[in-house]
Amino acid sequence: MTPQQILLFALLGLMIALMLWGRWRYDLVAFGGLMAAVLMGIVPSEDAFSGFGNPTTLIVALVLIATAGLNRSGAVARMARLIASRQRGTTAHVLVFGTVGGLLSGFMNNIAALAMLMPVDLQAARKANRQTGLTLMPLAFATILGGMLTLIGTPPNLIVSGFRADVLGEPYRMFDFLPVGGAVAVAGIAFIGLVGWRLIPGAREDAPSEGDGPQRRYVSALVVTEAGLTTARLIADARAEAAKANVRIIGLRRHGQDIAGNLDDVTIADGDVIVLRADPQALDEFRSTNNLSFPDGRMEPRARKDAEGQQLIECLVPRASGIAGRSVQSFGLTNRHDSVLIGMRRQGLALRRDLSRQTLQSGDMLLLLVPESRIEDMLAATGLLRIDGGSLSVQRERHMRAAVGLFALAVAAASFGVTTMPIALGCVIIAYVLFGVLSVHELYDHVDWPIIVLLGSMIPLGLALDQTGGSALIAQGLASLTQGYPAWIALVLLMAATMMLSDVLNNNATTIIAAPVSIRLAEQLGVQPDAFLMGVAVAASCAFLTPIGHQNNTLILGPGNYRFGDYWRMGLPLEIIVMAVSVPLLLIVWPL
């Protein structure tokens, strides 16, 4: 081993140890490792930041923004609502949600796919009186498996595609991953739905239900438009529709007057104001699903125009605020800040009547609808304190068709070689802004910057591993271990080692380390590298044994009330199934 190889292996070993220790965040460790490599002369200073301009890094950032556009338009939420049913048994529920989650993950970031489906899964579990832990882990694993379907489904696919472009001069195309990844996903989701969820430890006595935590519910109002509630104009039908979103209709106003008596047989008319009790997310879900509108803040409310992106934010009236002792109407929330008071809570109770005329008191909690461009100015002018975690971007369902169509067009253009994936996604994001799907103010909020820093820092280190001969050295060791055996034995060994590393290390970092090794191993064996590169992509994505191997596993740890040792019970047989399905198919689809 050369001095440079020794230094690089020692540095990578230290970085892996620090990432496993968890004292410092992985992106800080990766960036610190990059700086150390530059100072030690392992990475040339002119190449130090080349990873941040790498197409792989750009695609990951662009996919996250494009995914946000699909989410903001309500397209994914509407699909999720279509598949939710309280009548399904656990097996059917896991199979349906796993299939939908897998398909979504093939065309969007799998972390975002889980984040969109997880609230629906939690709600379905609550309605079915089922322990949330029985379905959350299957859903997380299914979204990880679904990422294997396409080039943009998961960062490991993008990373190996980048390495292939460097070595063979051509990256993988959009659906090159589908033959192997599709078979692995189908087999894996079938196992999860039919057998896997039964291996999860049963409900524990200390397991909290999703509904145990305090949920801030407000008495709010929505305005009925011409296109609203087209199939549920009777209050009785509207109440049944509202119950699906965990919303309760408690009143109806017409021309500024409350309609008294039994409302069930009352027919809702255009312009009516429905009074309901709901938390912010359920409120926006019911509004979006049924084409209703938020009020415009007038004394006799009309439908508010959706001129730009808006957020529902929860704010607290502090003791030192200048608006304490004044009404909302008096300080011009609507006229000066184009914002609307949607709901108010005082001393734990939701207030119902004449909210705009209520005299505000310190400690009051307000639910406000605010244009994204005016949030900071409104907060500064009023002295209100925004509650952490109390912001929700309002869905813009009228842009749903445009968002889905533009994204599909970009995927098709990249798939048929009309343009590259970064250019296609970049054009989609520009179109999202022009069409109003996303606002300029929120674009960068949807990028997972720690992941971007991790990729930008690790890519130069991965290239250095290859350029210093380190990856060739590892490949030589693997080739020596399998000398005299068929090449597929080396493939199995490489995939097993990658899986083990991915279970304890971020899957992106694992891929950056393993991809150059796979290429050098193929060279040592005198075979084509595609099967080995694809094997690394599959193996790096299969982090099912621990909650730290993949962010999806981490996301469900708390809500599912899992322990560290719960994951391997379903994850270990799943990884064996992945190996059993993928290795033969790799040899068939990508012959050695």
pLDDT tens, N- to C-terminus, the chain (592 residues): 788 889 988 998 898 788 767 788 878 988 999 999 999 999 999 989 988 988 778 877 887 788 788 878 877 667 766 776 666 788 998 999 999 999 988 887 777 778 778 767 876 777 677 888 889 899 999 999 999 999 888 888 988 998 888 888 888 988 999 999 999 999 999 999 999 999 988 644 344 444 434 468 999 999 998 878 877 788 998 898 888 778 999 999 998 888 888 888 889 998 999 999 999 988 988 888 888 999 988 877 888 887 677 889 999 999 877 788 888 777 788 888 889 999 999 988 898 877 878 888 899 999 999 988 888 899 988 889 998 777 888 887 778 888 888 988 887 887 677 888 789 889 999 999 988 888 887 788 888 788 788 778 888 887 887 788 877 777 778 778 877 788 899 999 999 988 888 886 667 778 888 888 888 888 888 888 999 999 999 999 888 987 767 778 877 876 788 887 788 899 999 999 999 999 999 999 999 8
Q: Tell me, what's the pLDDT at 131? A: 85
- Residue 221, in any domain of the structure: no
Q: Is residue 507 part of a domain?
A: yes
Q: Are residues 480 and 548 in the same domain?
A: yes
Instruction: Answer with the one of 378, 393, 408 that is the final residue of a domain.
Output: 393
Backbone angles phi, psi at 402, to 5 degrees: -65, -40
Q: Quick one: pLDDT at residue 211?
A: 40
For residue 311, what is the enclosing H or E element? strand 310-316
* In a shared domain, residues 482 and 574: yes
The strand ranges marked E within 137-272 are 218-223, 248-254, 257-258
The residue from 359, 377, 393 where one domain ends is: 393
- 84 falls within a domain: yes
The Cβ of residue 299 has, within 10 Å, a number of other Cβ atoms equal to: 9
| Residue 133 burial (CB count, 10 A) | 22
**Interatomic CA distance for residues 138 and 143, integer angstroms:** 9
251: β partners: 275
Does residue 315 sit in the same domain as residue 378?
yes
Number of domains in the chain: 2
Contact predicate 137/537, CB 8 Å: no
Do 65 and 200 belong together in one domain? yes
User: Do both 461 and 387 map to the same domain?
Assistant: no
Residues 453 and 387 in one domain: no
> Do 371 and 455 fall within a single domain?
no
408 touches 24 (CB < 8 A): no
| Cα radius of gyration rounded to whole Å, the chain | 27
Element (H, E) at 108: none
- The alpha helices in 373-506, defined as continuous H runs, are 375-382, 400-415, 421-435, 449-467, 470-481, 487-504
Q: Give the model's pLDDT for residue 86.
A: 61
Domain assignment present for 433: no
Asked if residue 34 and residue 177 are part of one domain, the reply reads yes
CATH number of the domain to which 317 belongs: 3.30.70.1450
363: left (phi over 0), alpha (psi -120 to 50) or beta: left
236 lies in some domain: no
pTM: 0.69
Residue 306 domain-assigned (yes or no):
no
Q: Give the residue numbers spanning the domain of 56.
A: 3-40+47-205+448-589
Same domain, 476 and 334: no
- Does residue 108 lie within any of the structural domains? yes
Residue 72 falls inside a structural domain: yes
What is the side-by-side strand order in the sheet with 248-254?
218-223, 273-278, 248-254, 257-258
Q: Is the same domain home to 180 and 36?
A: yes
Contact indicator for 209, 126 with CB cutoff of 8 Å: yes
Q: Does residue 478 sit in the same domain as residue 574?
A: yes
Angle formed by the axes of helices 421-435 and 400-415, to 10°? 160
User: 342 with 220: CB under 8 angstroms?
Assistant: yes
CA 488 vs CA 125, 524, 590: distances in Å: 43, 13, 12
- Structure tokens belonging to residue 196: 């896997």
The predicted pLDDT at position 417 comes to 75
Q: Final residue of a domain: which of 393, 412, 438?
A: 393
Those residues whose C-beta lies under 8 Å from the C-beta of residue 550, and which sit 6 or more positions away, are 140, 144, 502, 507, 541, 543
Helix or strand or coil: residue 303? Answer: strand
Find the length of the chain: 592
DSSP-derived 3-state class of residue 567: helix
Q: Are residues 334 and 460 in the same domain?
A: no
